[in-house]
Amino acid sequence: MEKLKALLLTQGMHGMISQVEGMAKAINADFSHKIIRLSFPWNLVPPKFSPISSIVLKDRNYVTEEETPDLVISCGRKSVIPSILLKKKNPKIFTIHIQDPKVSFKNFDAIIAPEHDNLNGENVFSSKGAIHYITKMEIERAKSYLVNKINSQKVVSLILGGPNKYYNFNEFQLIEIFNKIKSNFISIGYKAIVIPSMRTPKTIIELAKKEMGSCGHVVSSVDKQAYLSAYALADYVVVTCDSTSMISEAATSGKPIFVAHMKTKRNNYRFKRFFDLFKKMGITRDLGEKIETWSYKKHNEAERIASLIKNKIIN
């Protein structure tokens, strides 16, 4: 059987790209990626109120007749209508949407949503945390990338997110996190690797250099190999609480994970359900808890769900 061809549709955000690519890789499909841009005013309108028409698209030629895919894997609000349009033009295309599409689930062959979103339906596949494109093999391959930057047998890696609608990421909260890492890890001989994400503002990276520069190595820009290497070299991983995707990616490392919590701007009940789930699974603890080693079962939801969806595609 030839490899399936997948078209990935997202708004271009790292978390979304990680999820669609993770699913495409787990299905073992060849894939191409299109960034979806919606025209005004449809970029402001929820999918359930948008027409199923190419009028909503800035680029109406995001797929040609020659590259008609076997699969469409979409993620995020703006990719909902384009996916439905493709299915309407060619019913043979198998469509997978990641996250709640906010329209009838019948518009898709499969929907993948994290368990903490509480979505239910015949074609809904629930994941424990977010699916993503990080694999254990990639982490091991990148191990040597930062070896010369961190001269220590004891390493703690801090993965920084950035402000969103739930968390401010103000300087006071960050310094509190840095100080916890200093008192819990640096004081007993650990060196720190600090990794920014695409959402980490430059001001926060500069603050990290000021506060943590003497404690190890602060990576100053987004660097996937550094990100993977930080997991491979770490004895412990600390991840800021603003991203369930980053915490899910960290779980691929198999390393003990501490979540660095911050005060919220608004109700974060979905995050709370996720935090409770990963604690019950023995994956995470809260930064500030006792430093001890623990292990947990290999966590790769993309592979597990892909095996279920493959059966649906074949049948």
Q: How far is CA 249 from the centre of its chain?
A: 6
HSE, side-chain direction, 13 A CA sphere, residue 240:
28
Q: What are the pLDDT digits (tens) for 165-192?
A: 999 999 999 999 999 999 999 999 999 9
The DSSP letter of residue 156 is E
Q: How many CB atoms sit inside 10 A of residue 63's CB?
A: 21
Q: What are the pLDDT digits (tens) for 190-232?
A: 999 999 998 999 999 999 999 999 999 999 999 999 999 999 9
Q: Would you state the pLDDT for residue 85?
A: 92
Q: Would you state the pLDDT for residue 63?
A: 58
Q: What are the pLDDT digits (tens) for 128-152?
A: 888 888 888 999 999 999 999 998 8
Domains and CATH numbers, the chain: 5-131+302-314 (3.40.50), 136-286 (3.40.50.2000)
Q: Would you state the pLDDT for residue 299?
A: 79
Q: Would you state the pLDDT for residue 62?
A: 62
What's the whole-number average pLDDT of the chain?
92
Q: How many CB atoms sit inside 10 A of residue 103's CB?
A: 19
**1 — pLDDT class (breaks 50, 70, 90):** low
Tell me the helices (H) and strands (E) count for the chain, helix number first: 9, 12
> Where does the chain show beta strands of DSSP type E?
5-10, 30-35, 71-75, 94-98, 110-114, 124-127, 155-159, 191-195, 216-218, 236-240, 257-260, 284-286
- For residue 160, pLDDT over 80 is answered with yes
Read off the pLDDT of each residue in 89-111 and give the average, rounded to a whole number. 95
> Where does 81-140 show beta strands of DSSP type E?
94-98, 110-114, 124-127
Q: Would you state the pLDDT for residue 10?
A: 95
Q: What are the pLDDT digits (tens) for 12-71?
A: 888 899 899 999 999 999 999 999 999 999 999 999 999 998 888 887 666 555 568 999
- For residue 116, pLDDT over 90 is answered with no
Give percent of the chain above pLDDT 70. Answer: 97
Residues 68 and 90: beta-carbon distance below 8 Å: yes
Read off the pLDDT of each residue in 291-295 and give the average, rounded to a whole number. 94
